[in-house]
Structure 1
Amino acid sequence: MINRRTLLATGASLAATSLPLRAQAPVKATFGYTAVTDYATVFIAREEGYFVKHGIDVTPQMVPLNPSIPPAIQSDSLQLGGPTPSVFLQAVEGGLDHVVLTGGGATSKKMTGLGLVARSGSGIKTAQDCVGKKIGVPGLGAFLHVGFRAWLKSQGVDYTKVNFIEAAFPQHGDLLRGGSLDAVVTADPFMQRILSSGAGYVASYYSTFLPDGLPSLVFVARRDWVQKNMAAAKGFQAGIAEAAKFLVDPKNSVKVREHIGKYIKLPPEVLATAQISPPLPVVTEPVLGWWADQMVEQKLLKTKPNLANLIVK
């Protein structure tokens, strides 16, 4: 028989061995983002404590250009990041073994928070007027670039006759004012700043032609990092899901904008008028496939990848 002293000793031993598990610190990870509101759920999850609650300590880090995110993840300068779907798919085809954990913002026909903004006096009013012009995009092959080229094609315009120049969002207003660019494909809150300054005007809310519910961003990591840190990866997904619920609750609107403003460094009066995309915490094969199809058509991808292998469910 086991006596009381043995039972007490065994219990104490078990308690001692379980303490490190309960006290284990959250996995630390740096998340790369660009200065747009579609990363709202990341900022919310960080500020509201959802990430730490689920066992991952995420530090957002601003990156000037979206296409820089996958190489930074690959080099482990970032562990997580939010490339646009097109940037992600190009990186995968280029040999990077990255996978999607969640999505950021989603397209909506009600959204007028992005568009083609032309320089005042440029005379650009239609898709045809873009031929021969210098148009800035915040990433060659990224979301705005690919979607805008799809719109040009839908309007009967050969997008190869448009001169696209890569320019980070914060530079758009200055490049228009200085005459270096004829127009920019841009998004809030930078679009609102350009319009309020008089440097440009909206030539087209071209994105309203896109189907609803497409991811504007995908939140990704290296496959081997996810395999090594599966609990933290699932924690990231859970944190984003909680943040998405917070985002769509009207009573949180002021806090949402405060959280966004903290990370994209814009004053409250600018953020007050900026539209915020609906969240897309779960990315599916069909919505990622829409982007893959566009990219194959635009010769940005050679073939459509096995999408099921790219999404962590």
Structure 2
Amino acid sequence: MKTMKILGTAAVLALFAGAPAMAQDMPKVVLGMSGWTGFAPLTLAADAGLFKKRGVDVEIKFIPQKERHLTVAAGATQAVATTVDTFVAWTSAGVPLTQVLLLDKSKGGDGLAVRNNINSVKDLKGKTIAVDGAGTTPYFVLMVMLKRNGMGPKDVQYATLAPNPAAQAFVAGQYDAASTYEPYLSSIRNAPDKGKILHTTIEYPVVVDMLAFQPDYIKKNPKTVQAVVNGFFDALEMIKKEPDKSYEIMGAKVKQTGPDFAKSAAFIAWQDKAANQAYFKGDLQAFMKEAADIQLESGVIKKIPDLKPMVDDSFIK
């Protein structure tokens, strides 16, 4: 099984060479994330000036998921967005992070694509699947699907590719299957002669995205954390009031038109304050435990970390 790639601190910091200096009139937060559609309101809040209206200068950096936590450890980012299961893995690996905001839940935005002659997860036994490395969301989704169908990590072969290259390789005719997410999953939906979507997070609702900061940063900068959370909710309001403009801004970040981005957004559900408050009451904690158990069994983590410090609901009240 492929282990997480570890970068040196110097290499991680090199990713941020030339970053603009901190704005003198407001605190600066560098936020590490990906082009996942569910994170897009964060892009909207940054590009439409919503964060700055709240008194915080947020710079978005696209960083591969398997390296994102290392930038936090190196001090190159102050905030990161990823899935609940990934936060569990990072904390287990010695990079503690506290989740403060529920961003989105996937409702078909993550999935497993297969060739047209494959009709079940069990048919994948011995087959090669294009999927990102252990500890990433596509890998976790695949592990859940295998486990719930009586299979395990050793029952399939792996071609380790990031979500976009995995989808591109599959459409190009390579590999038997691919685990990926939107907007890249739609490239497979649009190529029915190449394959089909076998299962998504509609059948397996296990992709839940959160925003987190290091515990010490939260203690020292609660007002800044609150401003970032409020900026996200402001972005959701802008999407409601000005959908076309919002989709254009969010789509531009991932090289999509507004209408194409809107199609991708149909496969995720952004979470407002009420949804946050409900999820933090117990569902989050229960899912963290389930994710930790699956990752321990699949060898992604060696021990289950203390999960309690990973949650802070004070910013969504």
TM-score normalized by structure 1?
A: 0.79
- 1:215-254 map, 5 Å: 216-247=208-239, 249=240, 251-254=241-244
Aligned to 1:160: 154
Across the aligned residues of Structure 1 and Structure 2, the Cα RMSD in angstroms comes to 2.6
* Fraction of identical pairs, as percent: 20
- 1:163-312 map, 5 Å: 163-197=157-191, 200-211=194-205, 216-247=208-239, 249=240, 251-268=241-258, 270-274=260-264, 275-280=266-271, 282=276, 284=280, 285-299=282-296, 300-312=300-312
- 1:70-219 map, 5 Å: 70-107=69-106, 111-119=107-115, 123-197=117-191, 200-211=194-205, 216-219=208-211
SS of the aligned residue for 1:82 comes to: strand
Greater Cα radius of gyration, structure 1 or 2? 1
CA contact (8 A) 2:93 2:301 kept: no
How many residues are matched? 281
SS of the aligned residue for 1:112 comes to: coil
Q: Work out the CA distance in 2 between the residues paired with 1:148 and 1:215.
A: 11
The 3 A distance-change label for structure 1 pair 199 and 101 is farther
The 3 A distance-change label for structure 1 pair 298 and 310 is closer
How far did 1:56 drift?
Answer: 1.1
Shifted more, 192-201 versus 229-238: the winner is 192-201
Shifted more, 265-274 versus 38-47: the winner is 265-274
How far did 1:236 drift?
Answer: 0.9
CA contact (8 A) 2:30 2:60 kept: yes
How far did 1:124 drift?
Answer: 2.0
CA contact (8 A) 1:99 1:222 kept: yes
The 3 A distance-change label for structure 1 pair 182 and 116 is same
How far did 1:143 drift?
Answer: 2.6
Q: For structure 2, which runs of at least 5 residues remain unmatched after alignment?
A: 1-22
The 3 A distance-change label for structure 1 pair 201 and 273 is farther
